[in-house]
Amino acid sequence: AAAVAMAERVVADLREKCETPPSLLREVASEMAREMGAGLEKEGGSRVKMLLSYVDKLPTGREEGLFYGLDLGGTNFRVLRVQLGGNEKHVVNRESREVSIPPHLMSGSSSELFGFIATELAEFVADDKCTAISNGKKRELGFTFSFPVKQRSVASGTLVKWTKAFSIDDAVGEDVVAELQTAMEKQGLDMHVAALINDAVGTLAGARYYDQDVVAGVIFGTGTNAAYVEKANAIPKWEGELPHSGDMVINMEWGNFCSSHLPITEYDEELDKESLNPGEQASICIYEKLMSGMYLGEIVRRVLLKMSAHSSVFGNIDHTKLKTHFLLRTPHISAMHHDETPDLKIVAEKLEENLEITGTSLEARKLVVEICDIVARRAARLAAAGLAGILMKLGRDCSVEKQRSVIAIDGGLFEHYTKFRECLEITLGELLGDEAGKSVAVKHADDGSGIGAALIAASQSQYS
C-alpha cells in the first residue's frame, strides 16, 4: 500500500502541475493572438514566425483541368493527380501513389533524392490515361514540402534545415523547387512547379476548396503547425505589392509559441533540455513539445520512470527500457488510454511489450491510464486554446453576425487519438461559449496536404 501511495503522489503532483483551467486557457489564447500580431508587425517580432506563404489565392471550387500534387514530409512521399470538373463538379477523378523513400537517400545528396522523386513522378505521369493537357501547356504541379523553408515567392523557397529523418547537407540553402525542376528536366518531364507549400497550408487549401468558410488549416501529427487567411493590409511587415485578392495565407509556425501561462512540469523541462542542440536557442519549441505526437509518449515515459524509481509500484523491475528516450510512442499511450477492458489488459500488454514491465497490478495500470489522460488532456486543451487564439485574431471568437468559421484539421494525432480529439473539440466549445461556439466548426480534413498542393497549383495556374 505504501508503494502505491508514493506512486499516487507522483500522479497527484503531475495532475496539479498540468491543470488547465479555462482562465489559464483564455490567457494562452490571448497571448497567441498577441504574438500573431507581433509576428506580422515585423520580421523577428515574435517567436511565432508568421511567415508569408505567398499563396494569395485559395481554391474556389471552380477550378478546372488536370493538376498534380507531390507531398514530401516524412518517410513516404506521395504523388497524385486530380481532374477538376469546375463549378460544382469538384474532383471528378483522382489517383495517387505512395512511395517509401529508401533510407540511404535521406542522408545522401540532393540530386539523388530529387532524382529519385522525379523518376517516380515520371513513371506516374507515364500512365496518364487522360490527355487533357495539350496545346503547348505544361503539366502543373503543387509541391507540399513540410520542412522549414524561406520563401520569396509562391513557387520557390530555400531550405533552412532538414528535420525528422532527413539530413542532406548539400540541399540546405538551396531552392528546393529549382532542385526538383532540374531533376524533372533530366527525366524529360515537362512539368511546371506552380506552388511550394507546407502541410498546414495544404490542409487549409484542401478544405477551402469544398467550403469557403474554412479560415484555417491545422496539423496535429508528429509535429504541429497552423496556417490561416489574413487580410494583406493587416501585415505591416509586408513590403511587396498587395495582392489582387487582398488576402494572404500565413504559415504561423506556431510550434515555437511560448507563454509564461503554459503549464510546464519538470518532465517537460528535462525533455526540452535534453532535446536542445546547444547554441540553437530557436529550437526550444515549448508549445509543440507539449502537444504533438512526437512528444506525448516521451512525456509519459518520463513520468513512469519517476514513479517507478520512487516507489515499488511496478515491483522490482529493470529500468533499462524505461530509461530509453522515445521508446514509448504516442500510439502506445493512445492504445492504453482507450483501453476499455475491465482488467486493463491492453495497458498490461503495452507496458510489457514496450518497456518490459511485467506482472503489474490493476492499481498500477489504473495509474498509468491516469497519466496518459493527464498528458493528453493538457495537450488537447492547449491545442484548443491555440485555435481560440486564431479565431480571436480574426475577430471570429464572438458571434457578432451570422458568420460561420471552419477550422480544418489533419494529422495522425487528431485522426487516431480519439480522446485527444474529443477533448479538443469540447474545450474549444467551452472557450467560445454557447453563442460563438455555434458558429465555429472543427472539421477533419482527410489528406488535405496532398490534394491541397494540386488545388493550389490550380488556383495559382499560369494559364487561368
Which residues lie below 8 Å from residue 67, measured CB to CB, with a gap of 6+?
A: 81, 82, 84, 140, 141, 142, 454, 455, 457, 458, 461
List the one residue from 54, 67, 267, 417 that touches ligand ADP (CB under 6 A).
417
Cβ-contact 67, 142 below 8 angstroms? yes
- We find the least distance from the C-beta atom of residue 227 to ligand ADP, in angstroms, to be 14
Q: Which stretch binds ligand ADP (CB under 6 A): 226-234, 330-338, 347-355, 430-438?
A: 330-338
Indicate whether 413 belongs to the interface with ligand ADP (CB under 6 A). yes
Residue 222: name its binding partner from Mg ion, ligand ADP, none (Cβ under 5 to 8 Å by kind): ligand ADP
Positions marked catalytic: 78, 146, 199
**Quick one: which of 275, 234, 187, 233 has its CA closest to 393?**
234
With cell 514509448, the residue in question is: 328
Angstrom CA distances, 407 to 59, 104, 237, 263, 439, stand at: 16, 38, 25, 25, 11
Write each residue from 34 to 73 as x if it is in contact with ligand ADP (CB under 6 A), else as -, in one continuous string.
---------------------------------------x
To which H or E segment does residue 291 belong? helix 286-291
Write each residue from 222 to 241 as x if it is in contact with ligand ADP (CB under 6 A), else as -, in one continuous string.
xx------------------
Angstrom CA distances, 442 to 85, 336, 407, stand at: 27, 26, 5
C-alpha radius of gyration, the chain, whole number: 23
Indicate whether 379 belongs to the interface with ligand ADP (CB under 6 A). no
Cβ-contact 357, 317 below 8 angstroms? yes
- We find the least distance from the C-beta atom of residue 410 to ligand ADP, in angstroms, to be 7
**Quick one: which of 377, 375, 376, 331 has its CA closest to 353?**
331
List the one residue from 334, 360, 427, 460 that touches ligand ADP (CB under 6 A).
334
Indicate whether 293 belongs to the interface with ligand ADP (CB under 6 A). yes
Angstrom CA distances, 247 to 45, 56, 237, 244, stand at: 21, 5, 15, 8
- Looking only at residues 182 through 201 of this chain, which bind Mg ion when binding is defined by CB under 5 A? 199
Indicate whether 147 belongs to the interface with ligand ADP (CB under 6 A). no
Indicate whether 110 belongs to the interface with ligand ADP (CB under 6 A). no
d(CA 408, CA 424): 13
Indicate whether 144 belongs to the interface with ligand ADP (CB under 6 A). no
Angstrom CA distances, 292 to 364, 378, 383, 411, 420, stand at: 26, 11, 9, 10, 11
Q: Which stretch binds Mg ion (CB under 5 A): 91-99, 106-114, 213-221, 290-298?
A: 213-221
List the one residue from 37, 412, 429, 437 that touches ligand ADP (CB under 6 A).
412
Which residues lie below 8 Å from residue 178, measured CB to CB, with a gap of 6+?
A: 156
Q: Which stretch binds Mg ion (CB under 5 A): 22-30, 66-74, 88-96, 309-317?
A: 66-74
Indicate whether 74 belongs to the interface with ligand ADP (CB under 6 A). yes
- We find the least distance from the C-beta atom of residue 154 to ligand ADP, in angstroms, to be 22
Nearest to ligand ADP of 4, 335 (CB atom) = 335
Indicate whether 73 belongs to the interface with Mg ion (CB under 5 A). yes
Nearest to Mg ion of 374, 453 (CB atom) = 453
| Helix (H), strand (E) counts: the chain | 14, 13
Indicate whether 202 belongs to the interface with Mg ion (CB under 5 A). no
- Looking only at residues 218 through 237 of this chain, which bind Mg ion when binding is defined by CB under 5 A? 221
| Residues in touch with Mg ion (CB under 5 A) | 73, 199, 221
| Residues in touch with ligand ADP (CB under 6 A) | 73-74, 221-223, 293-294, 330-331, 334, 411-413, 416-417
